[in-house]
Amino acid sequence: MIATEKTAETKSLREWRFLRDLPKSAVAKGIGVHPSTYDRMEKNPLSISIANAVALASFFGCEVKQIKFFE
């Protein structure tokens, strides 16, 4: 696998958070939402707004298309 393919791999929010070694509270603060709101996003990513999806991608340093919003 070439490097560009590996970086284009999609990951769940939990996987992105673990990859960056961050607690849920740090992600919530980083995107400007309450920790319970981020917890709901991680449990039910289909409910994430476009604005929050963009904020999450920016926070994790990836593209929106690299975040798994459904299986």
Is 71 inside a domain boundary? Answer: no
How far apart CA 59 and CA 3 sit, in angstroms, is: 21
Residues in the chain, how many?
Answer: 71
At residue 4 the predicted structure's pLDDT band, cuts being 50, 70 and 90, is very low
Q: Max alpha carbon distance in the chain (Å)? A: 38
16-40 pLDDT tens trace? 999 999 999 999 999 999 999 999 9
Q: 5: which DSSP letter?
A: H
Domain range holding 49? 3-66
pLDDT at 68: 96
How far apart CA 64 and CA 7 sit, in angstroms, is: 13
pLDDT at 3: 39
Average pLDDT score over the chain:
90
Is 50 inside a domain boundary? Answer: yes
How far apart CA 12 and CA 48 sit, in angstroms, is: 13
Decide if pLDDT at 1 tops 80.
no
Total number of domains in the chain:
1
| CATH number reported for the structural domain that contains residue 20 in this entry | 1.10.260.40
How far apart CA 54 and CA 46 sit, in angstroms, is: 14
